[in-house]
Amino acid sequence: MKVKLLSFGITKEMVGGFEKNMELPSGTSVESFLEILKKEFPALKKLTSLRVAVNEEYVEGSHEIMERDEIVLVPPVSGG
């Protein structure tokens, strides 16, 4: 299935770009997705924390990614 990955802050530099279109096996969980991503971009392992948002909401590792989801990497936020 096709998904869109958006990366902000330091993750944009770690994965080499703001927006990527990706192909995932259907039924992929957020946890498995992160494993795939960390294999491809090992720099991600250096982060203090890495959360994932799908369609503008934070999700757990067990959350199942769906076709055409907008997946966002959320490294440690530092607003304010």
Residue numbers of the site for another protein (CB under 8 A)? 6, 8-10, 46-48, 53, 56-58, 72, 74-80
Smaller CB distance to another protein: residue 27 or 58?
A: 58
Enter the tokens of residue 33.
């997705």
Using CA atoms, how far apart are residues 47 and 57, in angstroms rounded to an integer?
Answer: 20
Enter the tokens of residue 35.
């494993």
Smaller CB distance to another protein: residue 26 or 78?
A: 78
Minimum distance, C-beta of residue 55 to another protein, in the bound complex (Å): 9
Minimum distance, C-beta of residue 13 to another protein, in the bound complex (Å): 8
Q: Find tokens 């969980």 and name the residue.
A: 29
Note the Cα 61 to chain centre separation in Å: 11
